[in-house]
Amino acid sequence: MENKYLIGFVLLIMICFVILTGGSNDENKITTKEGNTTITTKEDNPYVQSSQFFGENGEEANLVNGVLAIEASIFDDNLVHYYHTKLSNGKTVYFFVVKDSNGVYRAAANACQVCFGDRMGFSQQGSFMVCNACKNKYPLEKIATEKGGCNPGPINPNLVVEGGRITIKESELEEVADLF
C-alpha cells in the first residue's frame, strides 16, 4: 500500500514540475506579455540567446570583398535607415545608419549594449534613438561614440563619403557581432 502512495507522490511532483517549467526543457523560452517580448534563459546559463531578432530587420546589405557600400544620398532625410548583413562566418548583424543634424554619417548595431539579450533593437524618436527594451534615449549626435552602457553598439561614428557612397568594413561589423 505504501508503494501506491509513493508512486502517486512522485507523479504529483512530476506534474508540478511540468506545469512550473511550462512543459519544456528548451534552452530558450520566448514570452510575450502586453506586447513586450522578453527572453527567459536557463538559470544555469544566462548567456544563451535566441536566434530570432525582434527589432527592425531593415534592408539586406551585401558585403562585396569585405565591404558594404551604401548610397549616401539615401540619408539626406536625416532618418535612421536599418540594414542587416550576413558576415563571412555566417552570423547576421543588424545595424542602422543615420546622417545626424551636423551632417555626420554614423553607423551602429541595432542592439543595446546592455539589453541586447532582449533582441529588440532601437527605434528613432525625433533626434533620439530609443532602446525598445528599456526605453533609454540616446542622441543621434552621440551614435557610435561610446562603448558600454545602454546605447547602440558602435560601428563607426564618422563614415566617410567616397564616390557618393558610404562604406562599412566587415571588420567593423564583426566588432558588434556578439550582440546578436
Q: What's the mean pLDDT when you consider all of the chain?
A: 78
Q: Output Rg (C-alpha) for the chain, integer angstroms.
A: 22
Residues 155 and 75 occupy one common structural domain:
yes
Cβ partners under 8 Å of residue 113, min gap 6: 147, 148, 149, 150, 151, 152, 153, 179
Do 108 and 22 have their domain in common?
Answer: no
Count of domains observed in the chain: 2
- Whether 18 maps to a domain, the answer reads yes
Question: Of 29-38, 82-91, 118-127, where does mean pLDDT reach its minimum?
Answer: 29-38
Nearest in space to 94 (alpha carbons), one of 119, 75, 113, 64 = 119
Q: Is residue 79 part of a domain?
A: yes
Indicate the pTM of the whole model. 0.70
Q: Name the one residue in this structure whose C-alpha cell is 540594414.
A: 83
Identify the CATH number of the domain in which residue 151 sits: 2.102.10.10
86-91: Cβ within 8 A, 24+ apart: 87/63, 87/170, 87/173, 87/174, 87/177, 88/63, 88/170, 89/174, 89/177, 91/177, 91/180
Stretch 124-134: mean pLDDT, rounded?
93
Chain CA centroid to CA 49, Å: 11
Does 50 map to a domain?
no
Residues 35 and 69 in one domain: no
Task: Note whether 68 and 135 are same-domain residues.
Answer: yes
The confidence band for 6, taking pLDDT boundaries of 50, 70 and 90, is low
Say what the pLDDT of residue 15 is. Answer: 54
Whether residues 32 and 96 fall in one domain: no
Of 43-47, 108-112, 150-154, 168-172, least confident by mean pLDDT is 43-47
Residues 36 and 104 in one domain: no
Per the document, the length of the chain is 180
Within-domain flag for 125: yes
Same domain, 79 and 119: yes
pLDDT at 51: 64
* Residues 94, 156 within the same domain: yes
Is the domain of 98 the same as that of 147?
yes
49 part of a folded domain? no
Which range marks the domain in which residue 162 is found?
59-179
Q: pLDDT tens digits, residue range 93-110?
A: 999 999 999 999 999 999
Q: Indicate whether 88 and 164 sit together in one domain.
A: yes
Q: Is residue 46 part of a domain?
A: no
Bigger pLDDT: 53 or 84? 84
Residue 180: what pLDDT? 87
* pLDDT of res. 57: 79
Return phi, psi of residue 95, to 5°: -150, 170
List the end-to-end C-alpha distance of the chain, in Å, as a whole number: 56
- Both 149 and 69 in one domain: the answer is yes
Residues 121, 36 share a domain: no
